[in-house]
Amino acid sequence: MAATALLVGPSAVAGPPEADVVAGEIGVGEAQSFWLHLNSTPVSDEMAAAEAKRRQYVVLNAWEGDLLKKLKASNPKLTVLVYKDLSSTRSYACKNGADDQHLPTGVGFCAAEREHPDWFMTGPDGKRFEYSGYSGHWQMDIGNTAYQDAWATNVIKDAKGTGFDGVLMDNALFPCDAYHSGVCPKKYPTNEAFQAAYTSMLSNLKGRFAEAKLKTVANLSNARLHGNAWDTYIDHVDGGFDEWWLVFSDTDLVSEYPQGWSRQVAEITASEARGKIVMVQPHFTAGKDQPQRYAMASYYMAIGDKAAITPMARADAYGDPTPETPIYEWRLGQAAKPYYSVANNVFRRDFTCGTVVVNANPTNSAAVKVDLGGTHMDEKGANVTSVDLPGTSGAVLRKSC
């Protein structure tokens, strides 16, 4: 059955009254992207040169120093971060009693096993926690000051020695049963206690990494489910990464509700307002128009000048870079004002050379017609004066300027 289109008339075009302004900062209508190369896939010199010029941020493993040099040679201004897990040590990186020289963590398994067995996180039964689904990942006591100090010392030495610009701190977690559903650590039996331990660690690391002139970006996925947790953690780092942002698959798109669209968009607006880096990653198959337009229009709702977005077709496929679509070449100009509401859960932001519109109502809900107040070019190159958007859809539109 066809959805009924609801009309939002020209009265919305002139701009909202002050009370309708929802969020956001002055925006630059140019999409930025990043590349997480974590699966050790081969990278040709040609690919390295192209991606260095195309991306704002790149994340590599600690042992990819040669690739780091190639990227920097092609674009000295590129920010290249090294991957380090805040929360685990890896037994597979320990061989014959010795830890690998370059680790994906801040503390080696061999060293911890031999010298600091108390750093391993344990459950109520006293047994160590191994990440469910990730063999050889052993959870560590992130609230232990000695562990925090060792993590900082080791990571700074490794990152500076190789020449990285900073660190992607993976697994800044929020629920106490993360990676072991239904069972919390004996030492941190509640989400509040668990989050306080992470806040302690990030706070302890902050000054050390700043002194070392290393940027810090924490993986804050699922923060939307935990109140103001994003803001609490990001106070202590230079930026945040949301690995599951707004679009979870081709058909699973986050609509507006208390833990939904506006909260994830606010991750960008709040962070941009503080001068923080933001990296967001929706998940959808290349060529799928609805999830792409919903994600990109939502990103433009919040962008200032630091946020970057890169879609991923499937989880953890961190090998070859995601190809950029033509939308990354579009230039929407400046947005002097934040996004605003034009109907129930329908939002708009105006740029000097374009407009973005999002319908954040549930998927398959009635379409809403939004009058643009002038001629725009849609994603297919057609001239339009209005758009009809069903739930969880968006439009990125260009106009002459």
Residue 173 lies in a domain: yes
Check whether 91 has a pLDDT greater than 60: yes
- Which residues lie below 8 Å from residue 42, measured CB to CB, with a gap of 6+? none
Q: In the numeric block, which tokens belong to residue 323?
A: 């190809």
Say what percent of the chain tops pLDDT 90.
93
Q: What is the pLDDT of residues 146-197, one digit of tens each?
A: 999 999 999 999 999 999 999 999 999 999 999 999 999 999 999 999 999 9
* Of the candidates 227, 237, 226, the residue with the CA atom closest to the CA atom of residue 276: 237
**Residue 251: predicted pLDDT:** 98
Stretch 36-56: mean pLDDT, rounded? 98
Is the model's pTM score more than 0.75? yes
Residue 161 lies in a domain: yes
Check whether 15 has a pLDDT greater than 50: no
The helix or strand, by DSSP H or E, that contains position 325, with its residue range, turns out to be none
CA-based end-to-end distance of the chain: 39
Compute how many other C-beta atoms are within 10 angstroms of the C-beta atom of residue 391. 21
* Of the candidates 356, 359, 318, 360, the residue with the CA atom closest to the CA atom of residue 337: 356
Amino acid, single-letter form, for residue 336: A
Amino acid, single-letter form, for residue 315: A
Compute how many other C-beta atoms are within 10 angstroms of the C-beta atom of residue 97. 8
State how far the alpha carbon of 123 is from the alpha carbons of 176, 177, 182, 296, 320, in Å: 11, 10, 11, 41, 38
Residue 221 lies in a domain: yes
Residue 354 lies in a domain: no
**Residue 28: predicted pLDDT:** 86
Number of domains in the chain: 1
Strand 334-335 and strand 27-28: pairing? Answer: antiparallel
User: What are residue 61's DSSP bridge partners?
Assistant: none
Helix, strand, or coil (residue 285): coil
Check whether 1 has a pLDDT greater than 70: no
Compute how many other C-beta atoms are within 10 angstroms of the C-beta atom of residue 232. 18
Check whether 375 has a pLDDT greater than 60: yes
Stretch 342-348: mean pLDDT, rounded? 99
The number of angstroms, rounded, from the C-alpha of 106 to the middle of its chain's C-alpha atoms is: 21
DSSP string, 303-317: --SS-EE--BSSTT-
Residue 176 lies in a domain: yes
Q: Give the pLDDT band (50/70/90) at residue 238.
A: very high
Cα distance between residue 69 and residue 151, in whole Å: 25
Over the chain, what is the mean pLDDT?
A: 94
Residue 380 lies in a domain: no
Residue 261 lies in a domain: no
DSSP 7: E
DSSP 170: E
Stretch 344-371: mean pLDDT, rounded? 98
Q: Give the pLDDT band (50/70/90) at residue 7.
A: very low
* Of the candidates 311, 394, 304, 384, the residue with the CA atom closest to the CA atom of residue 345: 394
Q: For residues 176 and 193, is the Cβ–Cβ distance under 8 A?
A: yes
Q: What's 80's domain CATH number?
A: 3.20.20.70
Check whether 12 has a pLDDT greater than 60: no
Check whether 9 has a pLDDT greater than 50: no
Q: Give the pLDDT band (50/70/90) at residue 26.
A: low
Residue with tokens 């229009």: 297
**Residue 77: predicted pLDDT:** 98
Residue 362 lies in a domain: no
Residue 71 belongs to domain spanning: 31-243
